[in-house]
Structure 1
Amino acid sequence: MFTQKITDDERVLAAVLYQRKLCTQETLAELFTVSRRTIGDVVRGIGPILAQDGFTPAPTTTRFATAAEILATITDENTPTPPG
């Protein structure tokens, strides 16, 4: 049995963040505490599925060099509350 290193939700998030050019695959690997190869596999696997569904994300104007920079921007004010 194959155990995923990151959840399906994290896989989609990583692919979207990469497609938006928020950071490099290396930075995403640091953020999700997985290897760069895992992130590369995620991007190659999820990207075409998102494209097939018509999802074409706009590039962001901000680019982060480290996971710490990304995490520093996350606050309660800009984090949506999941529907419940």
Structure 2
Amino acid sequence: MTKTEKKTEQLLIKQLTNACEELKLHIDSFEYLTHHGQLSKLKQTLKVEVFCTATCSGQQLKKALSVINTELKTLQLTLKPHDLIMTVIAD
């Protein structure tokens, strides 16, 4: 991992942590999120997985995408709807 990739990863984690805290306020069933992607090709490979205890409505998914994209602007990244993965976990 290069220095640039390491800095990018640290900033990505920081921004997604901010998004996580914001989503806790807007989606009652939200638990946590994680990300996957190749740092050298982040714009093409970034996927964010959102874990909730219940299925989210379309409106909640739009809100999640909006919150995450607001935070990712710092990195000049934008997720498309197909880059957001929703997973329901048991309580």
- For the aligned pair, the TM-score class normalised by the smaller chain equals 0.3 to 0.5
TM-score by length of 2: 0.30
Q: Which has the higher strand share?
A: 2
TM-score by length of 1: 0.32
Q: Which has the higher helix share?
A: 2
